[in-house]
Each structure stands twice: as C-alpha cells, then as structure tokens.
Amino acid sequence: MKLIRFNEGRVGIVDGERVFDVTDIVGADPQAWPPTDICRVIRDFDSFRPAIATRLATGASVPLQAVRLQTPVPWPNKLMAYPVNYHDHAVEMASRGLANVQGYFLKSNSSLCGPADPIELPALAGREVHHECEIALVIGKEGRQIPAGKALEHVFGFACLLDMTIRGKEERVFRKSYDTFTPVGPWIVTADEVPDSANINMKLWVNGELRQQANTRDLIVDIPQMVAIASSASTLYPGDLIATGTPAGVGPVRDGDVVTIEVEHIGRMEIKVVQGTRGANVVFEKPYEFVRAS
C-alpha cells in the first residue's frame, strides 16, 4: 500500500490515482502536536489492514491531484543517513569516508519536507547546495542489535529521499540540516510491494537532465547491514528514517530548478528549488570551492 499524510495531517492510502482518507480508521488526530501520530500508525499498521481494505473497496475517494501531499513522517525519533555508499561517488568525491568505514550520521528531523514543499536555498554567497538522490528506509518495528538476517522484518517501507547538502568542510550535520534539506515522499510504499530491496533502480534529473542513476545492488553497505549497523548503537523505533547514501553525479541546484527523483517500485516526485533570504551565519562566510575528483 501507499501510505500518505496530506492536507494538514490527514492520513490516507493512494490507490491508483485516488486517495482514500483513513484518518478515522488509524485514529490519527490531524491537530495533534507534535505530529507524531504516524509513528504509531506505522507500528500498528497490520492491525488496520482489514478495515483499510474495506475502505478501498467501498469507501469514498478523492483524486490524488486534488490533495496536498506532506512528508510522510514529519517527527521521527531519528533521521539517520549513510555517507558515501557507492564506489563511483567515492571516486567522485576523492573520499575515504565510506559508509563501511564511518557508519551513519544524523540529520536534523526539522530538515524534513514533502513533495509539495520547495527546497529553500540558504542565502550563502559562493556556496553550492548539491542534490543527493537516495532512498528512505522507514522502520516499522522497534529493535536493538538487529542481525542483518532479520533486518528486513524491521523495515515497514520505502520512500524517495533527497539529501540536500551544502558543500564545504564544516560539520556535516550543519551542512545537511537546513530546513527543507530532506524532501521525502511522495508516500511510503509498504515493503510487501517491493519485490527485492537489493534490486531497486533510482534516477534523478535536474530540469529534465539525467544527473544520477544507480541500483541498490551496487551499495557498499547494503540495506540489511544498514539496519544492523544503525541498531547496534541505537534502538530503532517505528517511523525512524534511514537514508541509504547517494551514487555519483551530485551537483549544484539553483533558484528556479526542478529536481525530479524516481525510485523503482516506489514513485516519483518533482521538487522546486527557490532562493531563500535566510541561513547566513559566520561559519559559512569563508568561501569553498567544490572540485570534482574525476
């Protein structure tokens, strides 16, 4: 199933080009703050499946085009991300900081945004903000020290994810945590609809020009190992997000660009880029030039 949040906190299921509102079935409160209801919905999702199936068969629906999609999990307990996780991107960045050497890092949860939200470039003269095409793993079952062999039992589903990044030598968390730097969506596809998570194609275009493409078979740290490594340090909770790392082809985006990400079996989203007026600080005053290694 394709699980969405839409129209200010409602919960829905997308079936073809139709949206079925299941807010009542899952017991979500669109007014709740903080907006953490979806984490419980994900944890308990199997118990809602029969009622959802009935709703899809007999209930009212609205066109997908008529709703405003929101980021599926706005307040996860954690937003974890793997660094350089494809060999071609390691070459491009002349990086030794591979995912199998460094493990994961955290991004600010407040960097999350949805498919209808533009990426706001901070007002940092001379700095490049790069697109990184990735997949989000959505954790469905709590666990610690999860063995790789059981990892997929803890994955609720998948979504498209952009890990936007200011290039530079400053703290990685800082460069990646600006508001709108982690678009996720357009929905969560439940894991039962992805036939083989070790064989997912993904592509990214800027203004229609193909910039990145990869398949999860080429990951340095594969999806089960990502869950194993992350859960060795921290308890994973339902709704936690893990970004899988990007392949080669990263590059700058500018005001007015449209970034399109498409992940096989999952979906596609088109995100606008706008120049913002906020974001300057003393740390980023020193210029930095990004030099591609190959």
Q: Which of 246, 260, 266, 267 binds Mn ion (CB under 5 A)?
A: 246
Residues 159-218 that bind Mn ion (CB under 5 A): 163
Nearer to Mn ion, 128 or 163 (CB): 163
What x-and-dash track marks residues 123-142 binding Mn ion by CB under 5 A?
A: ---------x----------
Shortest reach from residue 246's CB to Mn ion, in Å? 5
Nearer to Mn ion, 101 or 280 (CB): 101
Nearer to Mn ion, 96 or 277 (CB): 96
Shortest reach from residue 132's CB to Mn ion, in Å? 4
Interface with Mn ion, residue 92, by CB under 5 A:
no
Shortest reach from residue 212's CB to Mn ion, in Å? 11
Ranked by CB distance to Mn ion, the top (closest) residue is 163
Q: How many residues bind Mn ion (CB under 5 A)?
A: 3
Nearer to Mn ion, 37 or 132 (CB): 132
Nearer to Mn ion, 132 or 240 (CB): 132
Shortest reach from residue 162's CB to Mn ion, in Å? 9
Stretch that binds Mn ion, among 50-58, 96-104, 156-164, 279-287 (CB under 5 A): 156-164
Nearer to Mn ion, 15 or 179 (CB): 179
SS (HEC) of the chain: CEEEEECCCEEEEEECCEEEECHHHHCCCCCCCCCCHHHHHHHCHHHHHHHHHHHHHHCCCEEHHHCCEECCCCCCCCEEECCCCEHHHHHHHCCCCCHHHHCCEECCHHHEECCCCCEEECCCCCCCEEECEEEEEEECCCECCCCHHHHHHHEEEEEEEECCEECCCCCHHHHHCCCCCEEEEEEEEEHHHCCCCCCCEEEEEECCEEEEEEEHHHECCCHHHHHHHHHHHCCECCCCEEECCCCCCCEECCCCCEEEEEECCCEEEEEEEEECCCCCCHHHHCCCCCCCCC
Q: Kindly report the number of other CB atoms within 10 A of residue 70's CB atom.
A: 25
Stretch that binds Mn ion, among 3-11, 72-80, 216-224, 241-249 (CB under 5 A): 241-249
Residues of this chain that interact with Mn ion (CB under 5 A) are 132, 163, 246
